[in-house]
Amino acid sequence: MKRSAKPSTRMRRRVEGKRGIIIGQRLRLLVPAPLALVAEIVILFMLFDRDIGVPEWLALHLALCLTLFAWAKWIGRRIRRNQVAWYLFVATAALGPIGPFTAMVTGALLIVFHRDWFDFQAWYSSLFPAETRSRVNDLYESLLRRQRSTAGGAVESFSDILSSGDAAKKRLVIGLLTRHFRPGFAPALKLALTDNDPSVRTQAATAVATIEGRFLARAQVLQRKVRERPKSFGRRERLARHYDDYAFTGLLDPERERDNRIRALEGYQEALKVRPRESSLWLAIGRLLVRERRYDAAASWFTVAEARGLLSADMVLWNLEALFKLGRYDKLREAIAEHSHLFQAGGKHPPQVPDVLRLWGASAIRKAAA
């Protein structure tokens, strides 16, 4: 596979090309300046030599200014940024021969200082470069999708790269995390915010602002869709899920995250009114209650879910956490004894869950024997 040029090289070429275009445009805007300077000097000398009077000088000066005005209007239809042409007209009208001279000096200074010019869009593109197919991008894309390396070896995690990788790799990772952001990527971005390299910190802060802006824009779209069809289960559920996804990232301030949790909880409850027996909503509401440290409410919620025949294995785990936090160990052991069959080895849950449940079950047996 052919290697693509480095992002910085492509960006530099793009900036150089754009710089050349803008410098050429600035030079075109000042085409009448030398002629206007010569004309103003000539008519001024004619006035001093008394070859013409003041009315004739004013008429010639006005004709020249009108010509420059017409030039600024005409060139403005071809070059969008024609401020220099308008400056030439205004300065000549007000200052006479000094006006074209200052316009020429201004144009020269703009061209000279354009050597250090750096376009904002080019800088932003360097932070979040467009995706190109290369070995490096394929490697990090495989990281992103949690795939194995094609060579069979292990690949570094995002946090490892942001901790020990070079600046180029860090910027590439942050760009990928931003474009494909998931709540699970938040710890890696928070790590980048404390990096020793200022460019990495700047890019990470820009990434966080971009993600937050994207979250707010998406929330507004989902809210509008809910207002259009308030009885739509899918729209209400998607809005609640959106707030839920950003409620625990750690990228927003604590008040914003708490507000997201409240909005998610309210959204799930509204969606539950449309489908009262949707088990995923019962799980989401109970989980949020536990995460909000409302353990008593969570335990009661899961009790109602069990009474309605909606209790799932995931609900049992969150219910066990709520009971543990409340110190209701007898209820905890009873729940484990009743629902331990839902957690078999090799299931979708973490492998340590059956072992932990067996330990709690064994302690319940020993207590009953005693």
Each domain of the chain, given as residue ranges in start order, spans 7-119
Query: What are the angstrom distances between the C-alpha of 131 and each of 99, 120, 155, 170, 369?
Result: 49, 19, 20, 15, 65
- pLDDT score recorded for residue 369: 45
Amino acid at site 343: F
* 305 closest CA partner among 291, 316, 294: 316
How far is it between the farthest Cα atoms of the chain?
Answer: 127
Amino acid at site 247: A
Query: Three-state SS across the chain?
Result: CCCCCCHHHHHHHHHHHHHHHHHHHHHHHCCHHHHHHHHHHHHHHHHHCCCCCHHHHHHHHHHHHHHHHHHHHHHHCCCCCCHHHHHHHHHHHHHCCHHHHHHHHHHHHHHHHHHHCCCHHHHHHHHCCCCCCCHHHHHHHHHHCCCCCCCCCCCCCHHHHHHHCCHHHHHHHHHHHHHCCCHHHHHHHHHHCCCCCHHHHHHHHHHHHHHHHHHHHHHHHHHHHHHHCCCCHHHHHHHHHHHHHCCCCCCCCHHHHHHHHHHHHHHHHHHHHHCCCCHHHHHHHHHHHHHCCCHHHHHHHHHHHHHCCCCCHHHHHHHHHHHHHHCCHHHHHHHHHHHHHHCCCCCCCCCHHHHHHHHHHHHHHHHHHC
* 370 residues of the chain, pLDDT tens digit each: 334 444 455 555 665 666 667 777 777 888 888 888 898 898 888 888 888 888 888 899 899 999 989 988 888 887 777 788 888 889 989 888 898 899 888 888 877 776 555 555 555 555 555 555 555 555 555 555 544 444 444 445 677 777 776 777 787 778 877 877 777 778 878 888 888 888 888 888 888 888 888 888 888 999 999 888 888 888 899 999 888 887 777 777 778 888 888 899 999 999 998 888 898 899 999 999 998 889 999 999 999 988 888 888 888 889 888 988 888 888 888 888 787 777 765 556 666 666 677 776 665 545 544 4
Report how far residue 146's alpha carbon sits from residue 26's, in angstroms, rounded to the nearest whole number: 51
- pLDDT score recorded for residue 304: 92
- pLDDT score recorded for residue 138: 58
Residues 82, 88, 91, 93, CA torsion sign = negative
- pLDDT score recorded for residue 310: 86
- pLDDT score recorded for residue 300: 92
pTM of the model: 0.53
Residue 285, burial from CB neighbour count under 10 angstroms (0-12, 13-18, 19+): buried
Q: Which residues touch 331 (CB under 8 Å, ≥6 apart)?
A: 299, 323
Residue 40, burial from CB neighbour count under 10 angstroms (0-12, 13-18, 19+): buried
Report how far residue 32's alpha carbon sits from residue 67's, in angstroms, rounded to the nearest whole number: 9
